[in-house]
Amino acid sequence: MMDFAKLDDLKAHLSSMRPLNPGELKRLRNDFNIEFTYDTNAIEGSTLTLRETALILQEDITIAEKPLRMHLDAIGHRDAFEFVVSIADNADKLTESRIKEIHNLVLMSDAENKGMYRSVPVTIQGALHTPPQPHSIIPQMEALLSEYEDMKRDMHVIEAIAEFHLRFEDIHPFIDDNGRTGRLIINLELIKAGFLPVNIKFTDRLKYYECFDSYYGTKPHNPDALTELIAGYEVQELKRYIKIIEAKNGI
């Protein structure tokens, strides 16, 4: 069992500090969104650079040598993260309809499949698990969402979020963009729990993939590897925000 005391202490310390004003918070969130969009899309194969991603999202500039799909992926993900932030104050349970709303924004380049569960079987190259057949998606998603509420009561929320993500990606409910949708769900649930959103870096993609191998390569399945990855990013974000506020207040 992991020791979450440091994480919770940092969260409590940040909560006790004078908050950033709306303009400052918006600027930090916008900067985070650009980096998050760059990294999460790069994990899925986008070749847009961080600078190109910023130009697309901030200046509406088209990168001539890059496919339209990559531009739409960047815009769709930005909009999906803004949506996640806008609904995070609502403490409602995570639902299938909410997940479909997020996917609908993420997959803006595919009008036929966005926000819709897949109707064909899929495989994940190199994975230790095979996603269920289409007819099993709804019952498995319903079971996961129900069990997720129990997980949040029985374990630390970071561990519950990691477990949910691993199982969501196993179900692979959509034809495309399950990874980007799943990482947005991670951040929705983190913000709802009073934590900061995290960005799984493209440079850490192998470590991220190994979390799935670690989970599915053990019985009973153990989410510790992904829990540690998310918790590590969360500690970094909390420390960064604390340092920003301390500098602002001359501490």
Return contacts of 83-88, CB within 8 angstroms, 24+ apart: 84/184, 84/187, 84/188, 84/191, 84/197, 85/29, 85/191, 85/197, 87/188, 88/188, 88/191, 88/192
Count CB-CB contacts under 10 A for residue 110. 17
Helix orientation angle between 205-216 and 224-248, rounded to the nearest 10 degrees: 140
DSSP letter, residue 135: G
Which residues, including other chains, have CB under 8 Å from residue 208's CB and lie 6 or more apart?
A: 43, 200, 226, 229
Q: Which residues are catalytic?
A: 172
Whether the Cβ atoms of residue 47 and residue 39 lie closer than 8 Å to each other = no
- Chain centre to alpha carbon of residue 205: 13
Q: Which two tokens stand for residue 181?
A: 């949708």
Whether the Cβ atoms of residue 181 and residue 102 lie closer than 8 Å to each other = yes
The three-point CA angle 5-203-7 to 5° equals: 10
